[in-house]
A and B are shown apart, each in its own frame.
Chain A
Amino acid sequence: MDAIGNLFFGIGIALEPINIVYCFIGVLVGTLIGVLPGIGPAAAVSLLLPVTFSMTPVSAVIMLAGIYYGAQYGGSTTSILINIPGEAASVVTCLDGYQMARQGRAGPALGIAAFGSFIGGTLSVVGLMFIAPPLATISLKFGPPEYFCLMCLGLTLLIYLASGSIIKALIMACFGIIIGCMGQDPFSASPRFVFGIPELMDGIGLVPIVMGLFGISEVFLNIEQGLEKRDIFGVKIKNLLPSLQDWKNSIGPILRGSIAGFFIGVIPGGGVIIASFTSYAMEKKFSKHPERFGTGMIEGVAGPETANNAATGGALVPLLTLGIPSNVMMALLLGALMIHGVAPGPLLIQKNPEIFWGIVASLYLGNAMLLALNLPLIGLWVQVLKVPYKILFPLILFFCLIGAYSVSNSTFDIGVMLLFGVLGYFMRKYDYEAGPFVLAYVLGPILETSLRQSLLMSKGSFSIFFTRPIAGGAIILSLFMLISSIFPAIRKRKRLMVLEERIL
């Protein structure tokens, strides 16, 4: 009942007029980002991060979180209407959603995607509300060895589940740690890799890096061979409400997607993409007619769209209770909270309950707003899709530029952003992923500090990581994941997922 009481406290914060406005802006921008191919939620959060500097921490996270789960709603629109996923987690929705549109059932497809997203998002918030506080209490017993091992686990899982080569993902994680640890040593304050540049004493900022890697490089990839024209499936969208039969077929996938999506989101390294793929595979397995998947089965839309929204709530659990981001988006939110002087972790619920419960309540509010927005505004999103990319990309670049400059009014950050834009472009050409890099960048300093503290505590003995149960469990699981990735059966399963992701 404490949770209910605290929820009412959070509702009071979420319903402050300014927070309602920021929640609305976040979900609206998120939906727009999800609708528009070519820019993802990570880039959008990066672009809007400087905008949050003048806000309170709770307002900032409400808006940025709104972008994250809003993008999951919006991504289904383009998947269904033009067979191009608006963002990565909506890839599987293309398989059956577009086929439904071709059969004149775009309306029910869009409708069930919206309702499923709402149910999945809402149920995951319920999970967050009941699981997070006891988990935070347990995590008060965590010390540096536990933090070090959990972060290793998070990095390992993200690398293991990376869509490309594990070796390359590990290489990117190494670079992320190196870049993240640049600047002053946390123990002795001695400069490390600053090359005599005063701006590097505090390290390289998160905002220019992510803007470059996700914003600038994405634009380069889209313009490198000229700009494509997009054809929108020319059907009049009608009957957005699914029929009774559609609901009968979808209720099972929605409930299964909610549970699976939430727990996949909780696991460090999991995320919305894994959740949506897992749900699709699960529905195909449970279906009496698996051979019909890919021809316009509503289950193939309902399950994945529910799962990817449920995963957004689940992903907030380790971030807010342990201070460990489970994926790249959570790493950006962690960066945002740290920029605002808030340290997410076990003490967040005790010291800043208004932040935690305000965010939880705003998730309820945001999901309701998204359901109300997405159904009536589908016509508007279709018009937005028609904006040519040659008009869109200059606006994206301009916002990147201003965003990078506004961090510390320094042209140095613009140079950093452009450098990482070029690096990000080359990284993508050679299949080096930015996700492990960014996560390792955010976790690297914490990893280093907890490792050094642990070795000081144990007087140099590494057994401290194995004798403490939580730390030992996390390390053994990490080693198991790394070693098991070399087995053919698991490699083959991974390759299937990689191929699925690349069929676009």
Chain B
Amino acid sequence: MREGAQKILPKESFDNCNHSTMKNEATETVKLEIVPIKGVKMHRRIGSIFCFLIGFYVCITGYKKFGFGNIREPGPGFIFTVVGLLLMVLSLLDLHLSFVGKRIARRPVWSGIKWKNMIAVLLGLYSYVYLCNFVGFTIYSFLLMLFLFRVVEPIKWLTAVIIAVITAVAAYMIFCVWLNVQVPKGFLGI
């Protein structure tokens, strides 16, 4: 069994919430980080509560705002009322199971996350909405690629510039020339 595989551990393993090592039958040492049960269950409960609230909103909106109709002639809100109700029931069931379910050791969900990487990538992609009309598709493609090559695990500047140029030119040829996609031109007209 490799690290990260789920395994049901006895209750004693959780008492101190320490890291522990185990040996499996093939004598490979597998390190399992045991997350405090409270933390794991809290995440699951937050998810269940969130789903319940969404289900509640959808159900009420479907019933009151769109119109449930009647069983002979279902209205626009019929499907939303039924599915919203189902979602609420399932969320409550999931919430219930988070209180009574078996303890499972697993890799911590949010440990070691490099949020900076993901936020930077997200902002870089979202900048298309504002920048592309101004600088144009081709120049934007070059700038975006350069940014992505440098932000997470930077590669050498020269390599990044070369690949960014090739990508921008290839994208122009494929999308603008071959596929005739209407892309923003920018102040340079490219």
A-side residues, CB < 8 A to B, are 50-51, 53-54, 165, 167-168, 170-171, 174-175, 177-178, 181, 185, 187-188, 190, 192-193, 216, 219-220, 223-227, 388, 390-391, 393-395, 397-398, 401-402, 405-406, 409, 411, 414-415, 418, 421-422, 425, 429-430, 432, 444, 447-448, 451-452, 455-456, 459-460, 499, 502-504
Contacts and interface: CB of A to CB of B under 8 A. Distances in A.
A394 B149 contact: yes
Contacts, number: 163
B15 interface: no
Nearest to A390: B153
A430 B118 contact: no
B179 A224 contact: no
Nearest to A440: B83
A398 B80 contact: no
23 contacts: A171-B94, A175-B54, A177-B79, A181-B80, A187-B76, A192-B80, A193-B80, A223-B114, A224-B113, A225-B112, A227-B152, A227-B153, A390-B155, A391-B155, A402-B181, A414-B125, A418-B122, A418-B126, A429-B109, A430-B47, A447-B79, A455-B73, A455-B74
Given A175-B54, A188-B76, 18 more contacts: A54-B179, A165-B94, A223-B117, A226-B152, A393-B148, A395-B167, A397-B148, A401-B144, A405-B128, A406-B181, A409-B182, A414-B126, A418-B126, A425-B118, A447-B79, A448-B78, A451-B74, A504-B2
Contacts of B54: 175
Question: DSSP majority for the A interface?
Answer: helix
Nearest to B7: A499
A51 B174 CA distance: 9
A82 to B, nearest CB: 14
Contacts of B55: 174
A168 B54 CA distance: 14
A455 B112 CA distance: 53
B105 interface: no
Interface of B: 1-2, 4-6, 43-44, 47, 51, 54-55, 58, 61-62, 66, 70-80, 83-84, 86-87, 90-91, 93-94, 97, 109-110, 112-114, 117-118, 121-122, 125-126, 128-129, 132, 141, 144-145, 148-149, 152-153, 155, 163, 167, 171, 175, 179-183
A315 B171 CA distance: 33
Please list the 10 inter-chain residue pairs (A to B) with the smallest Cβ-Cβ separation, ordered nearest first.
A394-B148, A460-B72, A460-B71, A185-B76, A174-B87, A390-B153, A411-B129, A406-B181, A448-B79, A452-B74
Nearest to A167: B94
Nearest to A396: B148
A397 to B, nearest CB: 6
A502 B152 contact: no
B180 to A, nearest CB: 7
Nearest to A221: B118
Question: DSSP majority for the B interface?
Answer: helix
Contact of A223 (B47, B90, B112, B121): B121
Contacts of B79: 177, 181, 444, 447-448, 451-452
Interface hub of B2, B47, B144 (most chain A Cβ within 10 A): B47
Contact of B86 (A174, A393, A422): A174
A447 B79 CA distance: 9
B153 A226 contact: yes
B66 A192 contact: yes
A393 B147 CA distance: 12
Nearest to B79: A448
B141 A460 contact: no
A174 B84 CA distance: 8
Nearest to B6: A502
B76 A192 contact: yes
